[in-house]
Structure 1
Amino acid sequence: MYWLRRRLYSQNFLSNRELIQKLIRESSISPQDTVLDIGSGHGTITKELLKITPHVNAIEKDPRFTSHPQDFLTYPLPKYPYKVFSNIPFGITGDIIRKLLQSPNPPSDCNLIVQSEAAAKFIVTPKCNTLAALLYYPWWDIQITHKFSRFDFRPIPKVDSVLLCIKPRPKPLVPVLQKAAYYDFVIYNFVHDPHAKFVPPSQYIKFKNNPKYKGAYSKLLQEQSLLQKIHRTRTDKNWRKF
């Protein structure tokens, strides 16, 4: 029962307190900042964040760790400036990053502890890229800033983990007003061209509007919404068994 619960919530908590303190000190978090800790678990990261700023929102879905469980995927993001520093649930990494970066008010700085393989999907390379990496590339600088030892976590995971740092670009490579058109262009090409992932990122930001691209982004969002509903229904159903 315990192992199924942990698998459903992908919970491997960073337990190296000295390392947590070091990473927070190296971040841009200041006493004036509001910080979200997504998947706060035992509160190890939350406690260290509170030593820097009193404005910390700990968000945890598992009722074993909180008397006020909250699902981040339905959690209302702040309408004021905020940052994120979290050891997020690995199983919903893509959903969390998508919600943060596509929000009308995204974070001004974001440090996420994620699975190494998942992090690679959001980082642009010269030779081959995922759809997610290209969609965020014009507006976000996404880098791996730390590689963890598996022994930094409890329980010890079977995968490698990294700290993924996400910051808005000072000067976007594509104007924000053209974001929807850029999304349509990239998604259309990924759907219709099996070699799209090998096209250099520099070529994508030179995109041109074309009526045939219109609607590709909206269609993808509808498909993602359907998949998320199916996933949440199955997860909640399995969780209630225990």
Structure 2
Amino acid sequence: MSSARELMASAGVVPKKSKGQNFLIDDRVADRIVGYGGITSEDRLLEVGPGFGILTERLVNMGDSLTCIELDVKLAEHIRSTYGDRLTLLEGDAVKVPFPEFDVFVSNLPYSVSTPIIFKLLENEFRTAVVMVQKEFADRMIADVGSPDYSRLTVNLFYHADCEIMEPVPASRFDPRPKVDSAVVKITPRPAPFDVLDERTFFKVTEACFNHRRKKIGTSLRNTGLVDSAEDIPYKDDRIESLRPAEIGEIADAVFSLNKG
């Protein structure tokens, strides 16, 4: 594969910070990213943001079908001219483009869309996802309760899947070189480790409380209109950053029961 600089020049691509266009240039890292997916020939593969195709050239030879979603018109044309009908190319914003059915998800995610893409990913059924994200984002994905990195993202991921940082990736492995390091994260869906009465309420409570993480639980729930009174809500005087996901589930069950009654 030609160097990233050569490909940029030939495709007429000027990397945009607003799109988070930092292209992976290390073939060994690319090999490992794809390897973490445990891909079989029958798998349906989905790649978001193929860029110049350092992962695509590996994926296209591995699974039974590969779909790529690319927003940049010039990069989409590069993928189309390089791979033709060996893959399905969807042009558009992956946050908005409906995902096809897939078994394995692979992506070097731009930081600007990491959160919405991860939340969208969790709405789908799949076996494995391997994503490269900024290191600080990866830390949020696996943070423990009480950590400054503990967030709505952490809780949602914990509810849906096991999440593991597979390896750090230095900024020097990209062109243009970003200001921060990255990390490869593997997401493996599993049944929720605790039950809730209503998942929608659980996610609403999680979002409301983390949006007001410095306030007490009762205050956050009242301010967002989820309850009129927090009198019967457990942990109402605690703050969300001190509560484990299962305890947030208890709050959500109380909110659901209160509103249902």
Q: Same fold (TM over 0.5)?
A: yes
Query: Helix, strand or coil: the match of 2:106?
Result: strand
Query: What residue number does 2:57 align with?
Result: 47
Query: What residue number does 1:112 align with?
Result: 131
Query: Helix, strand or coil: the match of 2:187?
Result: strand
Over the aligned positions, Cα root-mean-square deviation in angstroms equals 2.7
Query: What residue number does 2:248 align with?
Result: 204
Runs of 5+ unmatched residues, structure 2: 1-11, 78-89, 218-238
Query: Helix, strand or coil: the match of 1:66?
Result: helix
CA distance in 2, matches of 1:17, 1:176: 44
* 1:150 equivalent among 171, 185, 203: 171
CA distance in 2, matches of 1:214, 1:61: 42
Q: Which has the larger radius of gyration?
A: 2
CA distance in 1, matches of 2:171, 2:34: 19
Query: What residue number does 2:91 align with?
Result: 69
- Tell me if the contact between 1:181 and 1:209 (Cα under 8 Å) persists in the aligned partners: no
Query: Helix, strand or coil: the match of 1:77?
Result: coil
CA distance in 2, matches of 1:118, 1:76: 24
- Tell me if the contact between 2:201 and 2:256 (Cα under 8 Å) persists in the aligned partners: no
Aligned residue type for 2:131: L
Runs of 5+ unmatched residues, structure 1: 216-242
In the TM superposition, 1:140-219 aligns within 5 A as 140-169=161-190, 171-175=191-195, 178-190=198-210, 191=212, 192-193=215-216, 195-207=239-251, 208-211=253-256
2:147 matched to 1:124?
A: no
Query: Helix, strand or coil: the match of 1:58?
Result: strand
- Change in 2 beyond 3 A, CA 1:28/1:157: same
Shift in Å, 1:21: 1.4
- Count of residues paired in the alignment: 210
List structure 1 runs of 4+ shifted beyond 6 angstroms.
none
Shift in Å, 1:4: 8.3
- Tell me if the contact between 1:35 and 1:82 (Cα under 8 Å) persists in the aligned partners: yes
Q: Deviations over 1:50-92 (max 9, x none)?
A: 22124111211111212373221121112x3421111122211
Query: What residue number does 2:235 align with?
Result: none
CA distance in 1, matches of 2:259, 2:59: 43
CA distance in 2, matches of 1:143, 1:88: 16
Query: Helix, strand or coil: the match of 1:162?
Result: strand
CA distance in 2, matches of 1:108, 1:203: 27
- Change in 2 beyond 3 A, CA 1:64/1:172: same
Query: What residue number does 1:226 align with?
Result: none
Aligned residue type for 2:97: Y
- Change in 2 beyond 3 A, CA 1:178/1:155: same
- Tell me if the contact between 1:37 and 1:84 (Cα under 8 Å) persists in the aligned partners: yes
Q: Percent identity?
A: 23
Scaled by the length of structure 1, what TM-score is found? Answer: 0.76
Query: What residue number does 1:57 align with?
Result: 67
- Tell me if the contact between 2:36 and 2:186 (Cα under 8 Å) persists in the aligned partners: no
- Change in 2 beyond 3 A, CA 1:127/1:51: same
Query: Helix, strand or coil: the match of 2:153?
Result: helix
